[in-house]
Structure 1
Amino acid sequence: MATQTPARRTSTFNNPPDYSFASHRFHKTLRNSSKQPIVLVACGSFSPVTYLHLRMFEMAKDYVRQNTDFEIVGGYLSPVSDKYKKPGLLNAHHRVHMCSLAAEQTSSWLMIDSWEAFQNYQRTAVVLDHFDYEINTVLGGVHTQEGEHRNVRIMLLAGSDLISTMSEPGVWSHTDLDHILGRYGTFIIERAGSGMDQATDSLARWRNNIYLIPQLIQNDVSSTKVRLFLRRGLSVRYLLPAAVVDYIEENNLYLDDGPGPEKEKGKEKDGAAGKRDVDAGSSKKSMQS
């Protein structure tokens, strides 16, 4: 059941030094040959990674199983580059390591991809092209139980603030929107108070590739709030995976978030439109990660 999709826009990729694509939890064989294989990718600062970031993947997995003809064969967190400078954005080495601790110690299927983190700032459309290349060209996609080859569809996973910024004029380039929503598609975790109807109406052209997932148990944990707690000497245990809390304490991280206001999300660095820095699942007012 191969599907026709637009061509990948980015054809060549420069890898950071000593980079290797994580695939140790990638499922090479479909469990159900009638399903379309997909990989979920969450792009964001993850400064630090929280239980909400991880919980998003589980909500998406439940939604996919109950409401779609997809089968998830992998899930990835992709921390943003240090070049996306803003207060609270810890060094990529620490952020990638915390994400790795969280994924390896709390999940049986999530992985971390450091390609975006350890190089120049990359737009979301290019990041998704990178995943498409690594999974379908380098790894060769997946196979059914009967041995039939299938390409894997890459899909963006994010919070409802993503749709809000995508519907705002001038925040995203139309070319990137068409590439992200037209070629790949997205799963959006809804949040209380988010006006999704108006936002999705303005993106009606790609409605069939936008999947809205209700958050049945509300979770308002954000990286911004976690950093604030840490600066004030308050406990963040049980807001983050224990291994991440231990790592933060051992390395004395986030004791000083630096001066200046938090950077508004959805805006391209230096004013260029098209890249979305998603603190997956966060609200508009506290979505810095």
Structure 2
Amino acid sequence: MAGRIPLVLLACGSFNPITHQHMRLFELARDHMHQTGLYRVVGGIVSPVSDCYGKQGLVASKHRLAMARLALQSSDWVTVNDWESQQSDWTETLVTMRYHYSHIAAQHQQKTGECKNLSTNKQPDSSGPQLKLLCGADFMNTFKVPGLWKDDDIEEVVGRFGVVCVSRGSLQPDQAVHESDMLSRHRQNIFLVREWVHNEISATEVRRALRRGYSVKYLLPDLVIDYIREHNLYTQDSEIKNKDAKLRPLTKQAIQD
């Protein structure tokens, strides 16, 4: 691994609740990036979204953070960060990436004694750690949802930082790249990871099973299942939360436009 570019993988999302599938993304992505011969993955970050996101059935961030930390107790390289979830409003993925990159770069400078410009508009320094967005194939399709993303944000997320995207069942991210001129333009910065052992665990289906009193053992870590039971999460009442609300990215973008 000597001479390779240190890389941190950042996963943003609801994690409502975190599943084995979420955690598996990190392992698959690390293996793939190591196989490129260019990178050395030095860390992973799980960043649960703010409560203001407005997604139906989204339980409080304090619970989603707690479950994620319980689930990742066995990992020696993936951590849970609460910065995004603690913001007073929903935060764009790009803003979250800028925050974490600045933090990572500052830590690198302290260790090496280097002093470089950490401007949020500056390309990540190839001699220091890089940050890339980790996601599943379904995430790539969100780039096509009208009003959900700003074009400039997509440009910076993909062109400046880069994306590591893992296939999921029949969803193949290369189609999303092929159909988008912008994504195709930055194809060299999009790393597509093939999941050969199909894992169809869906947080939506997990919540449905929990509401109906069905077993979710082996879909979630046991510690997470215990936490859900202790705090009586994912009930009929919790699922109708934000039922008629629009996602905050849509309303926030409309105001800015």
**Shared topology, TM-score over 0.5?**
yes
Structure 2 partner of 1:135: 104
Letter in 2 for 1:229: A
Give, in angstroms, the shift of residue 268 of structure 1: 1.9
Residue in 2 that maps onto 1:225: 205
Please state if 1:76 is matched with 2:45: yes
Pick closer, same or farther for the CA change 1:263–1:239 going to 2, 3 Å: farther
Structure 1 position 92, deviation (Å): 0.6
- Is the CA contact (8 Å cut-off) linking 2:58 and 2:239 kept in structure 1? no
Residues 157-205 of structure 1: CA distance to partner in whole angstroms, max 9, x if unpaired? 0011122222455442111011100110011011232253442121111
Partner of 1:10: none
- The equivalent residue for 2:19 is 50
- 52, 63, 76: which one pairs with 1:94? 63
Alignment check: 8 A CA contact 2:53 2:249 kept: no
User: What residue number does 1:19 align with?
Assistant: none
Contact 2:8 2:41 in 1 (8 A): yes
Work out whether residues 141 and 150 of structure 1, in 8 Å CA contact, stay in contact via their aligned partners in 2: no
Residue 158 of structure 1: SS of its match in structure 2? strand
Match of 1:107 among 71, 75, 79: 75
Find the counterpart in structure 1 of residue 86 from structure 2. 118
Matched, 1:157 2:134: yes
Shift of 1:138: 4.2
Deviation digits for residues 234-289 of structure 1, max 9, x if unmatched? 11111011111111111111123332759898x8241628xxxxxxxxxxxxxxxx
* 2:209 pairs with 1:209: no
Unaligned runs of at least 5 residues, structure 2 = 113-125
Q: Does the 8 Å contact 2:19/2:220 carry over to 1?
A: yes
Aligned equivalents of 1:84, 1:75: Cα separation in 2:
23
Give SS of 1:72's match: strand
Q: Take 1:133 and 1:220, find their aligned partners in 2: how far apart are those partners?
A: 34
1:66 CA drift (Å): 1.7
Count of matched residue positions in the alignment of Structure 1 and Structure 2: 235
What is residue 176 of structure 2 aligned with on the other side? 199
Task: From the superposition, tell whether residues 55 and 224 of structure 1 become closer, same or farther in structure 2 (CA, over 3 Å).
Answer: same
- TM-score scaled to structure 2, two decimals? 0.84
The alpha-carbon deviation at position 40 of structure 1 amounts to: 0.2
Match of 2:120 in 1: none
Query: Which one of the candidate residues 220, 233, 243 is aligned to 2:223?
Result: 243
Counterpart amino acid of 1:193? S
Contact persistence 1:81–1:118 (CA under 8 A): yes
Distance 1:126 1:79 in 2: 14
Tell me, what secondary structure is at the counterpart of 1:117? coil
Find out whether 1:272 has 2:253 as its counterpart.
Answer: yes
**What stretches of structure 1 move > 6 A for 4+ residues in a row?**
262-265
Q: Distance in 2 between matches of 1:75 and 1:179?
A: 20
Distance 1:226 1:193, change over 3 A: same
Q: Give yes or no for contact 1:84–1:269 (8 Å, CA) kept in 2.
A: no
**Cα deviation 1:24-78 (Å, max 9, x = unaligned):** xxxxxxxx33101110000000010000000000111111122341000100100
Give the percent of matched residue pairs that are identical in Structure 1 and Structure 2. 38
Paired amino acid for 2:19: T
CA distance in 1, matches of 2:220, 2:12: 18
Structure (1 or 2) with the greater helix fraction? 2
Q: Which runs of 5+ in 1 are unaligned?
A: 1-31, 144-148, 274-289
TM-score (norm 1): 0.75
State the AA in 1 paired with 2:202: S
* Equivalent pair of 2:7/2:41 in contact (CA under 8 Å): yes
Deviations 1:95-131 (A, max 9, x none): 1011011111x31211001000111210000000011
